[in-house]
Chains A and B, each alone.
Chain A
């Protein structure tokens, strides 16, 4: 009895909103008003953050390593593009939902392939699915526009009220609202008993099944959810850029996404958002250094992160903020190291 109440009070304590989290979102909102000239790049960061959030759901919480998460991003992107282009669903929010649901359906169907087999098979199957979809999109170029991509997409005003402007202001706030709503949903889910059971599966599948968690069903559910999020991120990308091209499926996109999540840290939802910001800043910096060869430096960052060790790096990054908090309030550090994932 006491053990049960212990667990639930522990879970509730973790689920409570912290001051730092509220400060984070206020800061993000403030960025929208502080830098009106940089809406386009900030929209990109939000989109990437949402995409990374979707990967965090399966990688950080369920421990599924995916090399082809761009597949769902691409499905969402093309879906939103086709809906708008052929005037099937013209209202952006509804189109967003439809695109997300289509991606979720693809995720649900492919999840049966992914839950079979160990890490290596999963890597291959996820990578294979992304490549397969890319080949399909290239093959049916009369639908997808082939290597030219979908062009000439005209977006209707959001909810019939806010039109997309050329400075990207509407696009930015639209993305921000979508990200925030989906973040709230994800936060609710990972702190629910369902989310806790996912962590149990990640840490030790055998033990998790021994205490009665239906592993396969949980993995299918979270994989589908993650595909839904990725699809929404893809649809957002099409809607805010009015373009969808073949590179939405590319391996580089999946690999960059892993880097984003690794920079920010897995398994605490904010990792993807922080990682997206740092990644975009790094990318900008490297492209100003060597315009054509920024990929070299991105690769170097990956290698260095792995060699130093992700855990150690996050400890270093959090050392100064924790020191300041300790000095100011004299209590124990509140910013915790994100939970490490099982090897």
Chain B
């Protein structure tokens, strides 16, 4: 009798184990994809964390810089036959150049204007960039040819890991560590922090505040361009990119707060994992989960999860 029961329950237990294992595997995959997604969002949005979070400029056009980088990379790789890794720095440089030109010519006049003016201005820029890219490149989604080394998966203890996502995690992780070091340890980092904390006192100490802001703005745009080039594979690249992902960038910055670079970083990881998990477990709810979480967090802590308490 007992033997019978035992022999019956054995395969059941094995199945349970297998289900558990499969469950763990999916969980791990979701976590991994979510981290890759989140890191990508961080590289895309950390420029905005500086302009919006620190300089208090509502720049809804940040996605346009990312799109520029993505399209530059796509043209270089697909049409001129550049290797992917050589095109990435150029995506950065081109976005940064456009960023510095626009900052010097247009943006800097608007730093002291009302938020309404800044919103109108940047929405205008978004509309222009969307229509211009649509005109030049066509409205369909565009893909960047990847080198063979980045395709496929690596088997890691039975879990398939996408090579491309692994590369994103490595690149973005290095960038984040580099940024943190620059901000915390270098002379430029302390200048930037001083300029943001109190522009008047900083310029009194001989810091060229407009120059620091322009450089930071350009660097942020460059990072967005790099992120745009990297994200073509995962997020999809089409002329509506700046509109589609605008809310995501804004979430990263407002939820993350602006006190340090860690806040937006953690916020983008949360957002990435939350979005991937939400799409996997409750696919029908779509982006509903993310928006609800955002509104709840903003109501709960208007200055962001990791923000400082005093509003700037």
Contacts and interface: CB of A to CB of B under 8 A. Distances in A.
Interface of A: 59, 65, 67, 113, 116-121, 123-125, 127-129, 131-132, 135-136, 138-139, 251-252, 255, 258-259, 262, 292-296, 298-303, 305-307, 310, 341-343
Contacts of A121: 254, 298, 302
A31 B259 CA distance: 56
Nearest to A299: B127
A113 B299 contact: yes
A80 B246 CA distance: 30
Contacts of B292: 132
A293 B287 contact: no
Contacts of A262: 120
B155 to A, nearest CB: 36
Interface residues of B, number: 44
A262 B135 CA distance: 27
Contacts of A302: 120-121, 123-124, 127
B117 interface: yes
Given A131-B247, A132-B292, A306-B120, A117 B298 contact: yes
A305 B113 CA distance: 13
Contact of A303 (B121, B132, B291): B121
B187 interface: no
Nearest to A131: B291
B98 interface: no
Contacts, number: 128
B24 to A, nearest CB: 30
A120 B295 CA distance: 13
A119 B298 contact: no
A116 B302 contact: yes
B294 A128 contact: yes
Contacts of A295: 127-128, 130-131
26 contacts: A116-B299, A117-B298, A117-B302, A119-B58, A120-B115, A121-B298, A123-B58, A124-B294, A125-B295, A127-B250, A129-B295, A131-B247, A131-B291, A135-B285, A135-B287, A139-B284, A139-B285, A251-B243, A255-B127, A299-B125, A299-B127, A299-B131, A300-B124, A303-B121, A306-B120, A307-B121
